[in-house]
A = this chain, B = another copy of it.
Amino acid sequence: MQNKKKSAIIKTMDKYNTKPPAGTRDFLARDVRFRKQIFNIIEKVFASFGFEPLETPAFERIETLMDKYGSEGEKLIFKILKRGEKAKSGEVDLALRYDLTVPMARVIAEYSNKLPKIYKRYQIQPVWRADRPGKSRYREFYQCDIDITGTNSLMADSEVILALIEVLEKLGINEFTVKLNSRKILTGLIEVLNIPKNLEDFVLVSLDKLDKIGIEGITKELQGKGIASEVVQSLLQQNRDSVKKILTTSTKGLEGLQEVQEIQDLIGDKRIIFDPFLARGLAYYTGSIFEIVSGKIKGSIAGGGRYDNLVGMFSKKNIPACGGSLGVERILLLAREPQGLFKNIEILATVWDKTFRKSSIALSNKLRDKGFIVETYLENDKFNKQLTYASKKEIPFVLICGPDEKAKNKITVKNMKTGKQITIYEKEVVNFFSFPALDTQPQPIL
């Protein structure tokens, strides 16, 4: 009884809860414009490398997403109930997109005849994860992926990193480090240090937490798995140079070192540094791995690597692949605001009285056609109220056409900053505002 009452109250409250659902956001004008401009910059860079855009549906068949993200990941998938009579069963048949890689793998299998052998695609779309919402942790957030499938050339690994670097620079983010490693180096280390092969994945997941739990935490975790403390120590005291030395006995390890060296050489950017402990938690990486970090923000702002055994999952054949993901939501916090973003209304066409409404609409539209952002005053208010409105909204120019102007086919243009006004022939108005384009800020002529 008590419970019933409580749930009834909560229901009533919910009815008037007008916030967006937990972990999601409404984007009002300023945010939409800012995000869109940032996405446009990113897309332009990817396109300049010849990456093609791809968009997939918000939901996939439940079977497409199951058994892809591990048990922890799977718990976070938003599942969609069957419709109609079947809804009562509580069964689901669809689920919201959890990442952009699985949909890409499906697309590659489905359109193999249409897509080039080496398929370079970018995809910028929201994904949904039922994570506990928190500060900059959302349940609906954009991912931004580039991938090159169909080649195992290190040129591809290099191009992915280079494209991400170019994006960061175009966004005005110059201070960052690209940590580069290879899963082969980690495998080699585990081999030469005689860590049991079956613990490899565990060790990688543990190393991935270095930033969070520190050397002590990792030591504890690895010893907990029965790895001798000397072994743990000799693993954790490695550095760039010592790794190069001890890996001389591991074919796999040497291969990894060679790869890292080549990628560094090919890109030739000093911000790329070899980090033998970079692990990246995901088990599916097979070659190079990287993460881009910026001092200004916690965690990485981009990451990726080579994963040769994943993209073929729906195609039933091996498709080598490498790619990277840009942490766009984080980057939006770092990026400088693009210029000319917050287009204000440029001109307000006032309406003298009801009989002037039609001419005011027509004049506004003539100016819009030439690329101006023009608001026609909609309500039947006194002239002074219309001027106050323009002031408040910081609209730089106001058009006035009263009986005096009308009689002479003229229009008064008022500069709201200077207060100056000038009366000109109506047919001259368009020329008077000689702005070249919608994107340009108005240049006061008065």
Given contacts A266-B361, A362-B268, A438-B47, contact A61 B14 (CB under 8 A): yes
Q: Is the interface of A mostly helix, strand, loop or mixed?
A: mixed
Chain A interface residue count, CB cutoff 8 Å, equals 102
Q: Does A375 sit within 8 A of B, measured CB to CB? A: yes
Q: Does A296 sit within 8 A of B, measured CB to CB? A: no
Query: Judging by beta carbons under 8 Å apart, are A438 and B81 in contact?
Result: no
Rounded to whole Å, the gap between the CB of A192 and the closest CB of chain B is: 29
Given contacts A21-B59, A57-B24, A63-B14, contact A50 B345 (CB under 8 A): yes
CA distance A375 to B51 in the complex (A): 9
18 A-B contacts, Cβ less than 8 Å apart? A18-B106, A18-B314, A20-B56, A28-B52, A29-B121, A33-B53, A36-B53, A45-B368, A48-B372, A58-B58, A58-B140, A59-B78, A75-B83, A78-B83, A83-B130, A89-B90, A155-B351, A268-B358
CA distance A77 to B410 in the complex (A): 55
Sample of 8 further A-B pairs with CB below 8 A, known A49-B373, A75-B83: A11-B63, A27-B53, A28-B54, A28-B114, A28-B115, A79-B87, A80-B81, A81-B92
Of the stretches A156-164, A175-183, A298-306, the one at the interface is: A156-164
Q: Given the complex, which residues of B lie within 8 Å of A28, measured CB to CB?
A: 52, 54, 107, 111, 114-115
| Binary contact track A203-232/B, C-beta < 8 Å → 1, others 0 | 000000000000000000000000000000
Picked from B55, B90, B126, B345, the residue with its CB within 8 Å of the CB of A26 is: B55
CA distance A83 to B77 in the complex (A): 8
Query: Judging by beta carbons under 8 Å apart, are A111 and B26 in contact?
Result: yes
CA distance A25 to B15 in the complex (A): 34
Query: Judging by beta carbons under 8 Å apart, are A365 and B32 in contact?
Result: no
Q: Given the complex, which residues of B lie within 8 Å of A75, measured CB to CB?
A: 83-84
Which of A14, A50, A126, A369 gathers most chain B CB within 10 Å?
A: A50
Picked from B15, B159, B361, the residue with its CB within 8 Å of the CB of A361 is: B159
Rounded to whole Å, the gap between the CB of A267 and the closest CB of chain B is: 7
Given contacts A158-B361, A361-B159, contact A32 B48 (CB under 8 A): no
Q: Given the complex, which residues of B lie within 8 Å of A60, measured CB to CB?
A: 20-21
Among residues of B, the one whose C-beta sits closest to the C-beta of A88 is B90
Q: Given the complex, which residues of B lie within 8 Å of A29, measured CB to CB?
A: 52-54, 121
Q: Does A265 sit within 8 A of B, measured CB to CB? A: yes
CA distance A153 to B379 in the complex (A): 6
Among residues of B, the one whose C-beta sits closest to the C-beta of A61 is B21
Q: Does A271 sit within 8 A of B, measured CB to CB? A: no
Rounded to whole Å, the gap between the CB of A163 and the closest CB of chain B is: 9
Complex interface residues of chain A between 1 and 53 (CB less than 8 A to chain B): 11, 14-21, 24-29, 31-33, 36, 44-45, 47-50, 52-53
Query: Judging by beta carbons under 8 Å apart, are B44 and A378 in contact?
Result: no
Given contacts A56-B20, A79-B87, contact A266 B111 (CB under 8 A): no
Query: Judging by beta carbons under 8 Å apart, are B83 and A378 in contact?
Result: no
